[in-house]
A and B are shown apart, each in its own frame.
Chain A
Amino acid sequence: QQQVKQSPQSLIVQKGGISIINCAYENTAFDYFPWYQQFPGKGPALLIAIRPDVSEKKEGRFTISFNKSAKQFSLHIMDSQPGDSATYFCAARVPRIREGAQKLVFGQGTRLTINP
């Protein structure tokens, strides 16, 4: 059972366009929502993250929009570039029961391709 559902599975965007990836979750106890970028054969790299008490966070060309009532959040990549071509994972953190127990549950991933 996928606790975090991510869509689309793949996405093709023209250079300079806006890439939008969506995630939905059910567990209202999740307390932290990061996005990771992963290139083939590499480890996931933290891109941007948000807490549920914030509706939007922007860092450069990357913006997270968070809708707590709908239990949805999305990543927007503005002015998408070919170098942004990668797999993107949304994730949610299981709230702390004890120290070191803050595991992440991931969405299924979106393979983003930016055409030049």
Chain B
Amino acid sequence: AAGVIQSPRHLIKEKRETATLKCYPIPRHDTVYWYQQGPGQDPQFLISFYEKMQSDKGSIPDRFSAQQFSDYHSELNMSSLELGDSALYFCASSLGLAGVGIEQFFGPGTRLTVL
């Protein structure tokens, strides 16, 4: 079965640089969630999209922005990177319809290292 695809899998950036993370949800899934997981930490919700519109926002820094495109893939843009942004970034997808497909399926993650 098709899973959530994330790219790149690993990314190394310098401080103050920008990074773009991509997420391709499971086919027919219309909802995308982004989570950040620091070393030894639990995943923290950043932002979500349903049908290409932002639907919820968590602890996402103003330096970060995201969007969902017409093909439902999503991109997380991170600017002015800081050392503390080093983490695993997960994308999860689900069906947003009421009462259907409430499970969130996670991708393999992008490991971002800021030097």
Which residues of A does B touch, CB under 8 Å?
A: 32, 34, 36, 41-46, 49, 89, 93, 96-109
Contact = CB atoms under 8 A, between A and B. Distances in A.
30 contacts: A36-B106, A41-B111, A45-B106, A46-B103, A46-B106, A89-B42, A93-B102, A98-B55, A99-B55, A99-B96, A99-B97, A100-B31, A100-B49, A100-B53, A100-B96, A101-B55, A101-B56, A102-B102, A102-B104, A103-B33, A103-B45, A103-B48, A103-B56, A104-B33, A104-B45, A104-B104, A106-B42, A107-B42, A108-B41, A109-B40
Interface of B: 4, 30-31, 33, 35, 40-45, 48-51, 53, 55-56, 58, 88, 90, 92, 94, 96-98, 102-109, 111
A101 B103 contact: no
B109 A106 contact: no
Contacts of A106: 42-44
The 8 closest A-B pairs by CB, nearest first: A100-B50, A100-B55, A106-B42, A43-B106, A101-B56, A99-B96, A103-B45, A100-B31
Contacts of B45: 103-105
Nearest to B109: A43
A46 B105 contact: yes
Nearest to A107: B42
Contacts of A109: 40-42
Contacts of B94: 102
